[in-house]
Structure 1
Amino acid sequence: MAHLVEDLVRLIQTRHAIVTLQTVEEDFAARTVREAALAMHMPVMEWSVSDGLHRVAPDTCGLMAGTETLTGALRFMRGNDTQMVYVLKDAIRHLNAPAAERLLRDVAADFAQDRRTVFMFAPGGELPAALRPLAVPYELALPDADEIYKLVRKTVRDLSLAGEVVVDLDRVQLQRFLANLCGLTRMEIIQVVAEAVLSDGRLNADDIGRAIELKRQRLRQTGVLDYVPVLEAFPSVGGMKALRRWLSLRAKAMTPEARRYGLESPRGVLLLGVQGCGKSLMARFVAFKWKLPLLRMDVGALYDKYVGESERHLRTAFGTASAMAPCVLWIDEIEKAFASAGTGPAGAVSDGGLSQRMFGQLLTWMQDHKDPVFLVATANDVTALPPELMRKGRFDEVFFVDLPSADARREIFRIHLAKRKRDPAAFDLDALAEASGGFSGSEIEQAVVAAMYAAFAKDRELTQEDISAELAATRPLSVLMAERIDNLRAWAEGRCVKAN
């Protein structure tokens, strides 16, 4: 927390009249501002729509008369010459009030002449565009790994004052527990530890699941990200040997050891290809192979009817991913989120330029982010992708995921038969691979499942003939969309690395 206080002190010292604090931790932010102000021997006043303007540090006093509204508070601030720090908690959503915008401009001009600063909390929005040049934004980030460790230790120490606390975590379990607290607020971390300890007086491996579940709930509340649990034992993957080999070579590249060696963190891959051929499965496989948290972005939830909310959703998603780094960020069917974001005017006309702004935000993050966040983006329709996304250097590599080869189909049959407790050796896998030419991995799986339903309905065991019959009755995507797949292959030739 010390560095946050130092940052805010510097902002006050350099006479920034207005600072917008991007944070979801309002109480923590208010405490941090108070500490920064007290370090400079300056009093603090806070305003909210419920309490009006009142002093909170170094001592407290009641409501200042006539400051219940934002305009009233701003008039009071203009007339008060005392060098002071102000915290405005709900101001941004009330700037549409008559005279509020003008008064804020006047406050900014007055405060820039001396050492008075306004901190405006912006958990769900930004200043109107016309006012943004007056303010400096500052992001109060979620706690990093070092702060999380200190926070856990302090919470355990505080709880031990009321009774014995047994910490039963080895080094690996402790690291996993701390890793699963990344992305939570400071209060949520305290609550996880307190709930774990107070339930049985212990902090042990069983409490890792508690942290994971709270994280899932927290991410769901954002409406954009979902925490995808990574299985302890990942099912086998058929085919895509080149992609798997590429990933294996970079399995340790997200670690501090790789930084000391002189390597930068891998930035990401784009997986293009035919539907149902395992692109989404490979996003999960990356997280499993690299033993990292997996975050899935819901592209459908990004867009909001309210001005500025869509951009905020995307910014929040990237901020959360950075807080949870190292991690894998998975954007499935990325073309659906940014299909209208090309350089031409069509997209700008259709949605007022929103897609272009969102796409620009994505490109900026891809280029500038320094945290070890590995992006896995998948796409089925290359024609819908903005050409800027395909520029060299956006991704570490672009892979083309084609329909599985005969060897891969044989392996896929083996995997899905074994998954459903059937002995693959009892089936002629070569014949099944031959009969399933042009099938995707998901179509092969569905053929096995449909054959099992048919056999179960007849009260008998699954046979080779059941699967062969389902294959013969299925018209795969390679037949239904032959021209589109041929065009996709032609486009990928020479542009992409083959995953298979």
Structure 2
Amino acid sequence: MAQKSIQELEVLLRARYPVIYVVSWEEGRVEEALAQIARRREKKLYLWSIARGLQQYGSPVEGKRRADERTTDPPVALDHVLESMENAIYVFRDLHQFFNSPAVTRRIRELASYLKNSYKTLVIIGPTLQVPTELQKDVTVVEFDLPDREELNSLLDRTLSEVNESTGRELSVAPEARDRILGAASGLTLNEAENVFAKTLVISGRLSEEDLPIILSEKEQTIRKSGLLEYYHADTNLAQIGGMDVLKDWLSKRSVAFDSEAAKFGLPAPKGVLLIGVQGCGKSLTAKAIAGVWGLPLLRLDVGRLFNSLVGSSEENMRTAIRVAESVAPAVLWVDEIEKSMAGSQSSGSTDGGTSARVLSGFLTWLQEKTAPVFVVATANSIDQLPPELLRRGRLDETFFVDLPDATERREIFQIHLQKRGRDSTCFDVIALAEAAEGYSGAEIEQCIIAGLFEAYSAKRPLSTEILLRCTRDSVPLSRTMKEPIDRLREWADGRARRASTGEAPRIQALVSGGRKLEMDHLDPIEKEG
């Protein structure tokens, strides 16, 4: 809540903390909050920037346009703060950009010592946290929260009121749609939210649930700028996934846990889920479907992007990725094949100086302690390299085992992919196809249909059950070539993970090598002696 940040700032000012570093992209909101505090504490408020120098807050517009060239230089402006006798708050914008100057850091250290015995406070505002070693004991950091629902709701009312006043219309937002819109705008700055509300009104002439993709597109910009996370357009739903009825039911019950009514009921936001299972059985597709059904942005964390050769950079990249994910919350964070990302953590001390272990530790600590509504979907194909810390309850809500589809699920998968490619599934014998595809994953069934389409197109014939049966029988599924690892995975999951579906696990046929065939009918049988 932003109110919490304002209260923290006021406490620090009253306690005479000399130098406060406020991390925020919203200078205007922070300065307005400080102005309110200054009025209550009967203090003056001064603002500094490299372009304008020192100016008093609330001065006439004409005065703001003129720069005070005497105080545009950072060391000179800091000296002015030191020499001033006023009871005031001095806000310096982007002063962190000059921390590489010994003259600046020296003056801040001297100020920190002097201001403790005065009624003056130095406040630095910057979008990123950059505190040099020399100042770490003198500077107190406050992360100013993004707008809460109350602020966004007020902004939405103000935007609608301005549009209605200027156009003579009577636009309004239904209560249910308002809740979804505010949820989608959560994580945006006030300026970003105002821009996207205006953009939505220009494009569609209204604000409704159908306009959520437009609002979410603003969050996509934030993700792209970070460079550490990938934004996926989630256009998949659970109906496009065959089987997994238990997992679907579990997800459906948690789809309403992000709205305000759920919070009033006492429901916490769900933390996440770990999907372990056979390759190609729909784990990644499920991550996309969750975001699509819940109407949340889908972010993919590629752990490989986090690692950097500079000491400490990898850990900072992880923290940055987490901050970005939380800044656009509520959201779905997808960590694909997490076992490969964390594979080197056990031997990290002897291979990379402990970097992998520290990155993993930071991620696991965040999973345990996070309060932001970021739903984590972690997928894994193997349990051999999974860190045991990840499996402990409390970090994620549930661990599901996604097995190969049974006969009923295979029929459903054939129907989904046939309809996806413009074919009427009732014109095919999906029962025979499902039987022929025993031991096949959903991805392998899809590839059989694609192979059948190639066969039919090259032969100038319509796609038929016969063609699909031939393509299915000609293919060898992964469950046969990798039977032993999959059996071991199934054995591990029994009793350790919840099955994603109620269906029975299909049988996996072992590969049988062709034996020598002898024609014996022309030979006389060998008589047994005795």
Alpha-carbon distance, 1:319 to partner: 4.2
1:51 to 2:51 alignment = yes
Structure 1 residues 233 and 405: CA distance shift in structure 2, 3 A: closer
Residue 63 of structure 1 is aligned with which of 68, 74, 95?
A: 68
Equivalent in the alignment of 1:280: 284
Structure 1 residues 141 and 225, CA gap change in structure 2 (3 angstroms): farther
SS in 2 for 1:180: helix
The equivalent of 1:268 in structure 2 is 272
What is the 5 A alignment of 1:454-493? 454-493=455-494
Correspondent of 1:155 among 159, 164, 168:
159
Structure 1 distance, partners of 2:52, 2:349, is: 42
The structure with more radius of gyration = 2
Q: In structure 1, how many angstroms separate the alpha carbons of the residues matched to 2:71 and 2:259?
A: 56
Change (3 A) 1:131 1:307: farther
Letter in 2 for 1:120: I
SS in 1 for 2:279: coil
Over residues 5-47 of structure 1, what are the superposed CA-to-partner deviations in whole Å (9 max), with x where a residue is unaligned? 4442222112222222222223433443344334433233334
1:108 shift after superposition: 1.9
Q: Specify the code of the residue in structure 2 equivalent to 1:276.
A: G
One-letter amino acid of the structure 1 residue matched with residue 366 of structure 2: W
Q: Does 1:293 align with 2:296?
A: yes
What residue in structure 2 maps to residue 127 of structure 1? 131
Secondary structure at 1:364 match in 2: helix
Displacement of 1:278 in angstroms is 0.7
The CA deviation string for residues 59-82 of structure 1, in whole angstroms up to 9 with x for no partner, is: 4684363652x4444444334443
Q: State how far apart, in whole Å, the 1-side matches of 2:71 and 2:235 are.
A: 59
Please say if 1:423 is aligned against 2:428. Answer: no
- Residue among 99, 104, 108 paired with 1:104: 108
Aligned residue number for residue 515 of structure 2: none
SS at match of 1:166: coil
Q: Which amino acid aligns with 2:55?
A: R
Measure, in 2, the Cα distance between the counterparts of 1:350 and 1:66.
51
How does the TM-score come out when normalised to structure 2? 0.81
Residues 461-483 of structure 1, C-alpha deviation per residue, up to 9 Å, x if partnerless?
A: 11123222322333333344444
Q: What is the distance in 2 between the residues matched to 1:229 and 1:305?
A: 31
In structure 2, the CA distance between the partners of 1:489 and 1:104, relative to structure 1 (3 Å rule), is farther
Which residue identity does 1:402 align to in structure 2? D
Cα gap change, 1:317/1:491 in structure 2, threshold over 3 Å: closer, same or farther? same
- Mapped contact 1:269–1:395 kept (Cα < 8 A): yes
What does 1:6-405 correspond to in 2, within 5 Å? 6-48=7-49, 50-51=50-51, 53-59=53-59, 62-63=67-68, 65=70, 68=73, 70-129=74-133, 131-167=135-171, 169-197=173-201, 203=207, 207-226=211-230, 228-231=232-235, 234-289=238-293, 291-299=294-302, 300-303=304-307, 310-311=314-315, 313-322=317-326, 324-342=328-346, 346-348=347-349, 350-405=351-406
Flag structure 2 segments of 5+ consecutive residues without an equivalent: 502-530
- Contact kept, 8 Å, 1:20 with 1:137, in 2: the verdict is yes
What residue ranges of structure 1 are gaps of 5+ in the alignment? none
Aligned residue for 1:375, secondary structure, equals strand
Partner of 2:504: none
CA distance in structure 2 between the aligned counterparts of 1:111 and 1:195, rounded to whole angstroms? 46
Structure 2 vs 1, CA of residues 233 and 393 (structure 1 numbering), >3 Å: closer, same or farther? closer
**Using the alignment, how far apart are the partners of 2:413 and 2:181 within structure 1?**
35
Q: Is the contact made by 1:164 and 1:201 (CA closer than 8 Å) also made in structure 2? A: no
TM-score w.r.t. structure 1 length? 0.86
TM-superposed CA distance for 1:317, in Å, is: 4.5
Q: CA deviation at 1:186?
A: 0.8
CA contact (8 A) 2:47 2:57 kept: no
Please tell me whether the aligned partners of residues 447 and 471 of structure 1 are also in contact (alpha carbons under 8 angstroms).
yes
Q: Aligned residues: percent identity?
A: 36
- Whether the 8 Å CA contact 2:414–2:430 is kept in 1: the answer is yes
The Cα shift of 1:256 comes to 4.4
Residue identity in the other structure for 2:89: V
Task: Kindly report the root-mean-square deviation, in angstroms, between the aligned alpha carbons of the 2 structures.
Answer: 3.2
Which one is further off, 483-492 or 306-315?
306-315
Q: Deviations along 1:356-405, whole A, 9 cap, x unmatched?
A: 34333322322222344332211224333333222232222111222223
Query: Could you tell me how far 1:210 is from its partner in structure 2?
Result: 3.0
Matches of 1:159 and 1:67, distance apart in 2 = 40
Change (3 A) 1:498 1:198: closer
Distance 1:233 1:262, change over 3 A: closer
> Which residue of structure 1 lines up, in the alignment, with residue 437 of structure 2?
436
2:520 aligned partner:
none
Question: Greater shift after overlay, 259-268 or 84-93?
Answer: 259-268
**Quick check: 2:5–2:145 contact (8 Å CA) kept in 1?**
no
1:303-324 CA deviation, whole Å, 9 max, x = no partner? Answer: 4566666555544544454455
**Using the alignment, how far apart are the partners of 1:106 and 1:353 within structure 2?**
37
Question: How far apart in 2 are the matches of 1:82 and 1:187?
Answer: 33
Question: What's the offset of the Cα at 1:279?
Answer: 0.7
* Distance of 2:206 and 2:99 partners within structure 1: 49
